[in-house]
């Protein structure tokens, strides 16, 4: 086995209970399982969450929704991104809820849904400041487009021919986990705009359906933004994104590989492609069975670390597609000097994310080393990395 993940479903349960403890009973959790459940394995993770009582799930596209339905997932599956109207029939057949991202998109979805035997379920996406998708909402004209969509769906329903069921409305914070100057005022502005939409609909006598705007960064930080549901992604997998409002969650996954080869190279010898590491003394090099095709960023070349036998060992040379090298000179020297059996040999376990002895390396640590974010580190772990669940 080259490289694998170990996912602790007991910790998933604990994290869910931690998040629930911060929420009122009236507020549901929408488990975000897009991008292969942030690399943890979408079907296994979603089914485990379903057994834990989660009834709402969020994905990025209809193909992800289809994979979960085919795996036997029940409950509401919400596609958070844009869906082509050509996929409306698939959505209806699978009982999948789509995001409606604009008035023109509503009209296209409505037209495509007229041939369906059951109504198409949608949530209205509102652009409160992320400026990615959603109905704009700053002017009376823009607010009217939102209410007209609700009215159009209801008018047809009143005549016995319901085509679209608007069962929710949502927006997305851009900076709820940010501590930089201006982030909190901007989050409050987004919340104000979302409330303005909800107030406008209430004045028109319109029931908006399930209301949700909070992501993991906002759950512990902005209780006034919880509404009917919160979208829980990073917290579910054990990562806080709002460092100034941490919840006691734990990473549920460890990523490991094994040593495949150990050799001592001479001073002046180079390691890996392009000779970006040249030994300045005799150096013990261990090769690991993992590379960037498995999702380990090549940006970690010559500056990242892995954990072996309770030691932090540096990555040396460029990370290859399927392999990488680390400097284990320190471990071998200590083992030889003290006749201690923790030397490195073929088959020795190496930890990319997780614990080794007293040391822990997280996806946040890797993200910091390669100038990325925890979400990218986790979600890009490759499909050929075996996943094991306990």
Among residues 34, 121, 221, 256, the one annotated as catalytic is: 34
The CATH 2.40.37.10 domain(s) of the chain lie at 253-389
Total residues belonging to the chain: 390
38-52, 312-326, 330-344: segment of lowest average pLDDT: 330-344
Instruction: Please say whether the beta carbons of 351 and 282 come within 8 A.
Output: no
Question: Average pLDDT for residues 59-80, to the nearest whole number?
Answer: 98
CATH 3.20.20.10 domain extents, the chain: 9-232
* pLDDT at 8 > cutoff 80: yes
- The whole-number pLDDT of residue 162 equals 85
- So what's the architecture of 9-232 in CATH? Alpha-Beta Barrel (3.20)
pLDDT value, residue 156 = 65
Is residue 273 annotated as part of the catalytic site, yes or no? yes
125, burial (CB in 10 Å: exposed 0-12, middle 13-18, buried 19+): buried
User: pLDDT tens digits, residue range 106-118?
Assistant: 999 999 999 898 9
pLDDT of residue 333: 87
CB count within 10 Å of CB 13 equals: 16
Of the chain, the percentage scoring pLDDT greater than 70 comes to 97
Catalytic, 222? Answer no
At 163-205, the pLDDT tens digits run 999 999 999 999 999 999 999 999 999 999 999 999 999 999 9
Mean pLDDT check: name the lowest of 76-90, 143-157, 238-252, 358-372: 143-157
Q: Flag whether pLDDT at 160 surpasses 70.
A: no
Q: How confident is the model at residue 339 (pLDDT cuts 50, 70, 90)?
A: low
SS (H, E, C) the chain: CCEEEEECHHHHHHHHHHHHHCCCCCCEEEEECHHHHHCCCHHHHHHHHHHCCCCEEEECCHHHHHHHHHCCCCCEEEECCCCCHHHHHHHHHHCCEEEECCHHHHHHHHHHHCCCCCCEEEEEEEECCCCCCCEECCCHHHHHHHHHHHHHHHHHHHCCCCCEEEEEEECCCCCCCCCCCCHHHHHHHHHHHHHHHHHHHHHCCCCCCEEECCCHHHHCCCHHHCCCEEEECCCCCCCCCCCCCCCCCCCCEEEEEEEEEEEEECCCCEECHHHCEECCCCEEEEEECCCHHHCCCHHHCCCCEEEECCEEEEEECCCCCCCEEEECHHHHHHHHHHCCCCCCCCCCEEEEEEEECCEEECHHHHHHHHCCCHHHHHHCCCCCCEEEEC
Tell me what pLDDT residue 169 has: 98
Residue 115 confidence (pLDDT): 86
- Of 151-160, 240-249, 291-300, give the range with the top mean pLDDT: 291-300
- pLDDT for the residue 335: 77
% of the chain exceeding 90 in pLDDT: 92
Read off the tokens for 223. 């209780």
Tell which wins on pLDDT, 343 or 273: 273
| pLDDT at residue number 159 | 45
What pLDDT, in 10s, does the model give residues 259-277? 999 999 999 999 999 999 9
Alpha-carbon distance 349 to 311, whole Å?
12
Could you read off the pLDDT of 289-301 as tens digits, one per residue? 999 999 999 999 9
CATH class held by domain 253-389: mainly beta
Catalytic residue of the set 273, 303, 312, 388:
273
């Amino acid at each position: 086995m080259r490289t694998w993940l170990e996912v602790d479903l007991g910790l998933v349960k604990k994290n869910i209970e931690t998040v629930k403890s911060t929420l009122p009973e009236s507020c549901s959790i929408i488990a975000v399982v897009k991008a292969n459940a942030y690399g943890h394995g979408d079907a296994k993770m979603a089914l485990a969450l379903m057994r834990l009582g989660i009834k709402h799930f969020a994905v990025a596209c209809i193909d992800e929704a289809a994979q979960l339905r085919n795996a036997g997932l029940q409950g509401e599956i919400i596609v958070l991104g844009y869906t082509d109207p050509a996929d409306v029939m698939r959505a209806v057949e699978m009982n999948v809820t789509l995001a409606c991202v604009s008035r023109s998109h509503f009209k296209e979805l409505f037209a495509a849904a007229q041939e369906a035997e059951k109504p198409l379920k949608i949530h209205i996406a509102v652009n409160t400041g992320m400026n990615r998708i959603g109905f704009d909402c700053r002017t009376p004209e823009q607010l009217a487009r939102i209410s007209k969509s609700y009215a159009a769906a209801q008018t047809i329903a009143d005549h016995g021919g319901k085509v679209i069921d608007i069962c929710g409305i949502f927006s997305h914070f851009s900076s709820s986990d940010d501590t930089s100057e201006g982030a909190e005022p901007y989050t409050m502005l987004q919340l104000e705009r979302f409330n303005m939409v909800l107030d406008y609909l209430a004045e028109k006598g319109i029931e908006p359906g399930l209301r949700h705007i909070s992501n993991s960064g906002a759950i512990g930080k902005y209780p006034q933004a919880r509404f009917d549901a919160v979208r829980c992604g990073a917290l579910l997998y054990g990562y806080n994104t709002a460092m100034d409002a941490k919840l006691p969650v734990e990473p549920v996954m460890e990523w490991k590989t094994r040593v495949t080869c150990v050799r001592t190279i001479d001073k002046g010898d180079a390691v890996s492609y392009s000779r970006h590491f040249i030994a300045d003394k005799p150096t013990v090099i261990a090769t690991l069975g993992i590379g960037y095709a498995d999702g380990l960023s090549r940006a970690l070349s010559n500056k990242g670390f892995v954990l072996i036998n309770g030691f932090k060992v540096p990555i040396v040379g460029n990370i290859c597609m399927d392999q990488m090298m680390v400097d284990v000179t320190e471990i071998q020297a200590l083992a030889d000097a003290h006749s201690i059996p923790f030397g490195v040999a073929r088959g020795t376990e190496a930890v990319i994310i997780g614990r080794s002895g007293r040391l822990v390396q997280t996806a946040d640590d890797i993200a910091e080393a390669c100038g990325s974010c925890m979400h990218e580190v986790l979600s890009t772990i490759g499909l050929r990395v075996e996943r094991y669940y306990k």
